[in-house]
Structure formats: C-alpha cells, structure tokens
Amino acid sequence: MVIKKKRGSEEAKNISKKLLSAVMAAVLVSLVLIAFAPLAAAGISSFTITSDTGVAGEVSAYEAVLNTTAEFTTLNATIAAKFGLEEPTDSELIARVGLQNNTIQNYGYITFTANGSNPANRLDVFANIGGDTAEATVDVDYSAEGTTTAGSPFGGASYVKVTLPTDSADGSLELSLPMGMRNISVDVREFMKNPTTCGDYLFNITVDDIHFDSDTVRITEIEAINVISPEARAYASTCVRLNFTIEPEGGTLAWIGYSLDGGANVTIAGNTTVQNVGSLVGSPPYNHNIVVYANDTCGNMVASNTVYFTMHPGDITGDCKVDGFDLQRFAWAFLSKLGDPNWNEDADIRNCDNKVDGFDLQILAWNFLKQYPCPP
C-alpha cells in the first residue's frame, strides 16, 4: 500500500519552518544590537542665562542653568566676545557651580573664591561632592584671553578650565566630570564685565561633544528712566514740568519721548514742559498719566513707570476748590520768578514759564469759586 502525503499539509510545515527561522534570526539580531548599543546620550532639555539683559560697560551677576535628559561627562561653553571678569580686591566669592546627578538633586557644589592674601592672582577652590569635601588654591588670570585651570581638589581627572574672551574672540568654559552629572548651574557673582557696546551676545553650550544649545544676553545702553516730575498729586496749573533721569547717567540715546494719557509719543530732547494738560477753565478730564520712553542706539526701548496726577487749575492750596485762600497764596507769589524767596511753583498757573504774572492771575480768576472732585 502506498501512502500519499497531502500536499497542503507539507507546504504548511515548510512555511512554519521558514517563519520560525526568520523569527529566531530577528531575535538574534536584536540581542546583538542591544549588547553592543551605546548608552543613551545626554540631550539638552533647557539652557538659560539669568539675567538675560545687562547694561553696557557695567559689572553684573549672571547665572547659567543647564538641564539635560541623561548624565554627561564633558561640557564646553562659549563666553561671548567683549565680556570679561572684574579683578577682585578682597576675599570674595567669584562663582559657584551646583551639581546634580541622576539620583541626587543636590549632589554637590564647587565654589571659587578670591584668595584673601593674593586676590588678584590666586583662587581658592572648595568642593563638596556627595558630602565629601576638599579644597585647593590655584593661579588665576583675569586678563583678556587669560586662562585659568582648576583640577579637582580630590585629585583625579575632573577639571574646569576657563579662557576669558577678548574684544574680537569668544572665550570658553571646559568642564570634565568623569563620574557623570545630570544638571549644572553656574552662578557668577557680580564680577562679569559687560561689553561696552549694546547688542545681542550669544552663548553656546555643548555636552559630550554632541548636543548643543544657546542663549542670548541682551546688552543695552540704558537701564531705567526715573520720572521726577510730575508727581502723583494735584497741580494748580494747566501744564506740568516733565523732568526725569536716565540710568546709567550719560547713557547713549537714539530717541526719547513721552506719551500723555496713552496718546501718541511726542519726541523731546530732554526735560521739557508739557502744555495744555489741564483746561484753562478747569473742565474735565482732571486725571492724567504720563510715561517717558527712550531707545538706545541698538533699538532697545526702555519705559519709565506710569505717573498718575490730577489737574485742578487755580487750586493752589490743594483743597479741591478755588477760593480766597488760593488768591492769598497767589498774591504772595505775584511777580516772583524761579529762585525768588516768595516763588511758588503752584502759582505759575498758565504756561509753567517760571514766573507769576497777570496771565496766571487770569486763569485763577476764570476758575474762582470752582469746586473740583477730590481724589479718593
């Protein structure tokens, strides 16, 4: 008897064998890839510099914070050209580096302090790593293009190397941490010398020679505008003297102006008088506000605080009404000018022209016996 095999059954077995072989091959390849695959490389999740603005020519403090997705062992950063370090004159903390690894948020820190005996040329390094401490003293160079290298106070391969920038070339920061770190903060105290010209300055950072990121510090020529006059009070005039200061003093301005009551900017050359703020006949609106704006030569705009004030023409005594007491104050100041013993700025009602005359008396007369709403 001849037994015939079913063709369909034989083909199914062959297909099963082929599938099994393919699966086993795939598993084998996967195991090989896993065995020889490198560890996950660190990526940068964020890199920020605070403060992100500074004033040209001034000395500032900055903090750079780096957060990564995995531990890394090397860090390289650029220090933008035209920045520098102020040479210390006493035993002062220059910088602090905070360290974090995969398991401990505050794994340790390293401080760099000017040496008390020789602050301009020597630097004291103190390290606290995982609770163990060590310290050392190294030479330091604060000049442009100067290089300072500090090895680990514990010994070993860890080190930090800083080369300061020049006016035309970036400087650098190199950090080697063979034990592996996750996040780092570099806090430089008020020793960073800002560039003398305004602009946006770029700082790049690289970890393990693969991943990089950058952040920008904007250097401006003006820091703040302080309005001295008008003040937050009621004025008896129809005009106000606009006086202000710029920080830093002597900051370079490309444009300056003011906005009254949120209106269009009015260009000015400096301190000025703003006319016709209040009505000659004391009609509303009585409440006003003013803001001073300025641009430096790089186009950075700075605004003053908003000053709120009230206009009550003729109310020299400030009691929200114009009566005989105001007339008496006016009479005392009549025909005086700025600098005279009997000068009264609030009696200079009409044009803020630094004299009290018949034009001012006319405005007082028009508003005599007027009652103004008093501010709450």
Q: What's the pLDDT tens digit per position in 150-168? A: 999 998 899 999 999 999 9
DSSP string covering 262-294, please? T---EE-SSSEEE-SSS-TT-PSP-EEEEEEEE
* Tally of helices (H runs) and strands (E runs) in the chain: 3, 24
Nearest to 175 by CA among 206, 135, 200, 147: 206
Phi, psi for 360 (deg, rounded to 5): -70, -40
Per-range mean pLDDT, top range of 43-57, 81-95, 172-186: 81-95
Q: What is the mean pLDDT of residues 73-101?
A: 94
> 266-267 and 255-260: which strand pairing?
antiparallel
Indicate whether 262 pLDDT > 80.
yes
CA 171, 202, 86: angle at the middle one, nearest 5? 45
Mean pLDDT of the chain: 88
42 band by pLDDT with thresholds 50, 70 and 90: low
d(CA 25, CA 19): 10
Q: Say which DSSP state 346 is in.
A: G
Strand partners, 293: 257, 303
pLDDT value of position 19: 40
Helix (H, G, I), strand (E, B) or coil at 235: strand
What is the SS3 assignment for 347?
helix
Alpha carbon 376 to chain centroid, angstroms: 37
φ and ψ of 9, to 5 deg: -65, -40
Tokens in use for 228? 């001295």
User: Which one has a higher pLDDT value, 13 or 137?
Assistant: 137
What pTM was computed for the model?
Answer: 0.74
Q: Tell me, what's the pLDDT at 289? A: 97
Alpha-carbon distance 277 to 182, whole Å?
Answer: 60
Instruction: Tell me how far apart the alpha carbons of residues 190 and 327 are, in angstroms, rounded to a whole number.
Output: 56
pLDDT level of residue 285 (50, 70, 90 thresholds) = very high
Superfamily of domain 224-366: Immunoglobulins (2.60.40.10)
Judged by average pLDDT, the poorest of 22-31, 58-67, 101-110, 314-323 is 22-31
Distance of alpha carbon 20 from the chain centroid: 64
Q: Around Cβ 31, how many Cβ atoms within 10 Å?
A: 10
- What does the angle CA 18 – CA 23 – CA 24 come to, to the nearest 5 degrees? 100
- Which tens digit of pLDDT belongs to each residue from 215-256? 999 999 999 999 999 999 999 999 999 999 999 987 788 999
Residue 311 CA to residue 236 CA, distance in Å, equals 6
Q: Which residue has the higher pLDDT, 33 or 324?
A: 324
pLDDT of residue 79: 96
- For residue 376, what pLDDT is reported? 73
Q: State the Cα–Cα distance between residues 67 and 358, nearest whole angstrom.
A: 71
Assign 13 a pLDDT band (cuts: 50, 70, 90).
Answer: very low
Q: What is the mean pLDDT of residues 186-215?
A: 92
pLDDT band at 77 (very low <50, low <70, confident <90, very high): very high
Report domain extents, the chain.
44-220, 224-366
Residue 300 has pLDDT above 60, yes or no: yes
pLDDT at 375: 76
Residues 6+ apart with CB under 8 A from 31: none
Better-scored residue on pLDDT, 344 or 24: 344
User: Which fold would CATH assign to domain 44-220?
Assistant: Immunoglobulin-like (2.60.40)
pLDDT band at 56 (very low <50, low <70, confident <90, very high): very high
Query: Above 60 in pLDDT, residue 25?
Result: no
| Cβ atoms of residues 316 and 328 within 8 Å | no
Closest CA to 84 of 196, 251, 234: 196
Domains 44-220 and 224-366 share a fold: yes
Closest CA to 130 of 180, 75, 176: 180
